[in-house]
Amino acid sequence: MTTWKIDESHSEIGFKVKHLMITNVSGYFTRFSGEVLTESEDFHDATINFEAEANSIDTQNSQRDEHLKNGEFFDAGTFPKISFKSKKVKKVDGDRYKLLGDLTIKGQTHPIELDVEHGGVTVDPWGQQKAGFALKGRLHRTDFGLRWNATTEAGGIVLSDEVKLLMEVQLVKS
């Protein structure tokens, strides 16, 4: 069994959500950790555990970040961790996979499916073996109790329910 850890300094855990239904606003979680256990070279049998600190959210706007940390969104004081536990990895073809697992946000757990592209394995200049992955997915934030919204004067909604997940993950072999 090989253990890989997420290399935080070379990984991004990001998301996008439609604002006023005309543009996307991006954000990231800046503190996270994860472990991947596998016996295969191609990760088809991987078991993945991941956690992000809810209060590490960063959307490049401190006022918005504080709103996202409070009870109307992540309630980071009560629910400090966002977690993911894999259930199954399905190889689609070549370097493409489907990752199925349970995502827990604000104490509510729901299944999620992520598209994964394996970027390869290499050895860095310091002799560490690294593996790279790009992950994409979608979730409905209201499923996880993130229900805050508002309407515009014209009756439109401020925030989309759908959130796009976009992650770039570099693993380092332990």
**Of 68, 79, 66, which Cα lies nearest the Cα of 163?**
68
pLDDT at site 159: 61
Q: How far apart are CA 73 and CA 58, in angstroms?
A: 14
Residues with Cβ within 8 Å of 32's Cβ and at least 6 positions away in sequence, in order, are 6, 8, 11, 13, 50, 51, 52, 53, 56
**Domain definitions of the chain by residue range:** 2-173
Domain with residues 2-173, CATH architecture: Beta Barrel (2.40)
Kindly report the pTM of this predicted structure. 0.90
Phi, psi of 53 (to 5 degrees): -85, 120
171: tokens are: 């693993």
Q: Compute mean pLDDT per 10 residues along the chain, 174 residues long, and list them.
A: 96 86 84 96 94 95 88 90 97 95 94 96 95 94 68 56 90 96
